[in-house]
Amino acid sequence: MQTAATPPAAGYADREPTKPPDWHQLVVWDVFFNALTTGLFLVAAVGELALPEVFGPVAVWAYPAAFVLLLVDLSLLVLDLGDPLRFHHMLRVFKLSSPMSLGTWCLTAYSLPLTLLVAIDIGTVVGLVPGDSDAVWWVRRVLLIAGLPVAFGSAAYKGVLFSTSAQPGWRDSRWLGGYHTSSAVVFGCAELLVLSVLTGHDRAAALLRPALGLLLVLGLIPLGLLLGELRPELTRRYTRDDLFRGVALSVGGGVLIPLLALAAVGTNPFAVVLTAVLVLTGGWVIRHLIVMLPHQAPLVR
């Protein structure tokens, strides 16, 4: 246990008093999948509720996808615990002061209508549930309406969870929640667009393309505000090259190129998938930069 020569530091003044939680890649992916599942559900549900005839057929694919993504997300959440067998302790109290408590309850509440929706979808496919009955239609509507606020809550808590902490960077990012929620909707839009193109629902795709474009532009507002807030800590902890790569991937690759692509390439499935991948990658990169920020030791200048 004896160490080789370590460069000793004198005193404590140069040290960050806080300690980063040992949240690493698992949490980056958790934040990412959180946006994927909640965004997909939100966009599909809004679409189905607003224009059932257009989005209904795509949404049938969207809910199982959101369900799978939710399962992945929940697994990541559980695995990230120090004691995964105690995940259910999260439901021991409902605590407004704790975004994690609120979020867990939202996720739990969100998982219920989603599960039922998926069950109905699967039931319809295998013929157990009559797909065209009024009762089913009404049940779906109720489930969608019930799911919307909790799915929204599930998306909205995640950024606040980080921003209400004492960690360098996180504590300064007033727009982290804003960015995450808006980015979740962007993700959802991109995902549904891909689903529409792949399943050949051109009307839905035709609506989702301009929507995605608009959302990408809108999303630049919280993203810009967030990066502005984070700039001191980002530049303190990441090298110029790292930051350049990160911003290029997230803003250039995640917003600008998709915008151009959406305008230029139209409905080519391959191009749409590629665009969506770019959008998601950009979002992942931002999340990675932020989640890992406190772990990054300040650079010696």
Partner 1 sequence: MTSREAQVVSTPQSADPPRPRGRLAEVVARLTYPFRRGAAPAKQPATGFYTDTTVCIGCKACEVACKQWNQLPADGFNWSGNSYDNTGELSASSLRHVKFIEQFADVLPPPPSPNGRMSLDVLPAEPPPANRWLMMSDVCKHCAAAPCQQACPTGAILYNEFANVYIQRDICNGCAYCVAACPFGVITRSHFDGHTHKCTLCYDRQKDGLVPACAKACPTASIQFGPVEELRERARQRVEELHSRAVPGAYLYGDSPTETYTELNSFYLLVDRPATYGLPEAPFNPWIHMTGDYVRAVLSGLGAMGGLLAVFLVMGQ
Partner 2 sequence: MPGLGASFGRGAATTFQQDLANSDCILIMGSNMAEAHPVGFRWPMKAKAKGATLVHIDPRFSRTSALCDIYIGIRAGSDIAFLGGLINHVLTHDKWFKEFVLAYTNAATIVDEGFRDAEDLGGLFSGFHPESGTYNANEGKWAYEGEGEDGQTKAAHGKEGTHGYGLEGGGRAEDRPHRDPTLWHPHCVMQILRRHFARYTPEVVARVCGCAPDDVGRIADLLCANSGRERTSAIVYAVGWTQHTTGVQMIRAAGILQLLLGNVGRPGGGIMAMRGHSSIQGSTDVSTLYDLLPGYLPQPTPDEGHDTLESYVKKEGIPTGYWANFSKFVVSLLKAWYGDAAAAENDYRFGWVPRVDGDYSHLPTMDRMARGEMTGYFLFGQNPAGGGMNAGLQRAGLRKLDWLVVADWFETESAVFWKDDPNGPPAAEVGTEVFFIPAATSPEKDGTLTNTQRLLQWHNKAMDPPDDCRSDTWFVYHLGKRLKDLYAGSTDPKDQPLLNLTWDYEHGAGHRLPDGTVSCIRDEPDVELVLQEINGYRVGEIDPRTGRPRLLKGFSELKADGSTACGCWIYSGVFPEPDRNRANERKLSDNPVQPEWGFAWPHNRRMLYNRASADPEGRPWSDRKKYIWWDAEKARWDGPDEPDFEPTKPPGYRPPDGAKGMAAIAGDQPFIMKPDGLGWLFAPKGAKDGPLPTHYEPVESPVGNLLYPRQPTSPTVRTFEGPLNRIAHTPTAEFPVVATTFRLTEHYLSGPMSRFNSWLNELQPEMFVEMSPELAAERAITHGDWVTVRSARTAIECRAMVTRRVPSLLVDGRVVHQIGLPFHWAFAGEVVGGNANDLTALVAEVNVSMHEGKAFACQVERGRHDGRQPSPTKHPVAWPTRDPIPNTPAAAQPEGGFTHDE
Partner 3 sequence: MFSLPVATKPQPFSPQTAEKASRLRGATVTEGVCPYCAVGCGQLIYTKGGQLIDIEGDPRSPISEGTLCPKGANTFQLSTNPHRVRNVLYRAPYADKWETKPLNWALDQIARRVKAARDAGLVTRNADGRLLNSVKTIGTLGGATLDIEENYLIKKLFTGGLGVLSVENQARI
CA atoms of 159 and 225, how far apart (whole Å): 14
In terms of Cα–Cα distance, which of 141, 121, 126 is closest to 58?
Answer: 121
Note the residues at the interface with partner 3 (CB under 8 A).
92-93, 95-97
Supply the minimum distance, in Å, between the C-beta of residue 86 and partner 2.
9
| HSE (side-chain half, CA atoms, 13 Å) at 191 | 28
Decide whether 3 or 97 has the Cβ nearer to partner 2: 3
Question: How many other C-beta atoms can be found within 10 angstroms of the C-beta atom of residue 47?
Answer: 24
List the one residue from 34, 37, 104, 250 that touches partner 1 (CB under 8 A). Answer: 104
Question: How many other C-beta atoms can be found within 10 angstroms of the C-beta atom of residue 265?
Answer: 14
CA atoms of 255 and 59, how far apart (whole Å): 25
User: Are 212 and 189 spatial neighbours (Cβ–Cβ below 8 Å)?
Assistant: yes
Does 23 contact partner 1 by CB under 8 A?
Answer: yes
Decide whether 114 or 186 has the Cβ nearer to partner 1: 186
Decide whether 10 or 96 has the Cβ nearer to partner 3: 96
Supply the minimum distance, in Å, between the C-beta of residue 8 and partner 2.
5
Tokens for 225, please give them.
């505000």
In terms of Cα–Cα distance, which of 159, 297, 169, 174 is closest to 233?
Answer: 169
Does 3 contact partner 1 by CB under 8 A?
Answer: yes
List the one residue from 131, 200, 210, 228 that touches partner 1 (CB under 8 A). Answer: 210
> x/- contact string, 31-70, with partner 1 (CB under 8 A)?
-----------xx--xx--xx--x----------------
Interaction partner, residue 132 (partner 3, partner 1, partner 2, none; CB < 5-8 Å by kind): none
Question: How many other C-beta atoms can be found within 10 angstroms of the C-beta atom of residue 31?
Answer: 27
User: Are 191 and 36 spatial neighbours (Cβ–Cβ below 8 Å)?
Assistant: yes
Dump the DSSP string for 233-273: HHHHHS-HHHHHHHHIIIIIIIIIHHHHHHHHHTT-HHHHH
Note the residues at the interface with partner 2 (CB under 8 A).
1-2, 5-8, 83
Among the residue ranges 57-65, 107-115, 180-188, 265-273, the one whose residues contact partner 1 (CB under 8 A): 180-188
List the one residue from 180, 201, 237, 288 that touches partner 1 (CB under 8 A). Answer: 180
Place of tokens 């960690």: 167
Decide whether 84 or 266 has the Cβ nearer to partner 2: 84
Decide whether 75 or 164 has the Cβ nearer to partner 3: 164
Supply the minimum distance, in Å, between the C-beta of residue 92 and partner 2.
12
Binding residues with partner 1: total (CB under 8 A): 87
